Amino acid sequence: MRRYLISGNWKMNTTRATAVELAKALVSGAAAATDQVDVLIFPPAPYLIPVQDAVAGSAIQVGGQNAYFAAPGAFTGEVALDMLQDIGCESVLVGHSERRHVFGETDELINQKVKAGLEKGFQVVLCVGELIEERQAQQTEAVLDRQMAGGLAGVSAEQMASIVIAYEPVWAIGTGHTASPEQAESAHAHLRSWLTSHYNAQVAEATRILYGGSVKASNAAELLGQPNVDGALVGGASLKAADFLPIIEAGVNAAG
What does the mean pLDDT of the chain come to? 97
% pLDDT > 90, the chain: 96
User: Please, which pLDDT band fits residue 237 given cuts at 50, 70 and 90?
Assistant: very high
**Can you tell me the distance from the alpha carbon of 158 to that of 210, in angstroms, rounded to the nearest whole number?**
20
Domain 5-88+166-179+186-255 class, CATH top level? alpha beta
pTM beyond 0.95: yes
Beta partners for 167? 128, 211
pLDDT band at 238 (very low <50, low <70, confident <90, very high): very high
pLDDT-derived band at 175 (thresholds 50, 70, 90) equals confident
Residue 201 CB coordination number (10 Å): 11
Residue 200, helix vs strand vs coil: coil
Q: State the pLDDT at residue 1.
A: 81
Task: Please determine, for residue 3, whether its predicted confidence score (pLDDT) is greater than 90.
Answer: yes
Please give the average per-residue pLDDT across 150-172, as a whole number: 97
Q: Contact at 8 Å (CB) between 144 and 188?
A: no
* Active site residues per annotation: 96, 168
**Residues 71/59/38/253 CA torsion (nearest 10 deg):** -170
CA dihedral in degrees (227, 114, 44, 99; nearest 10)?
A: -90
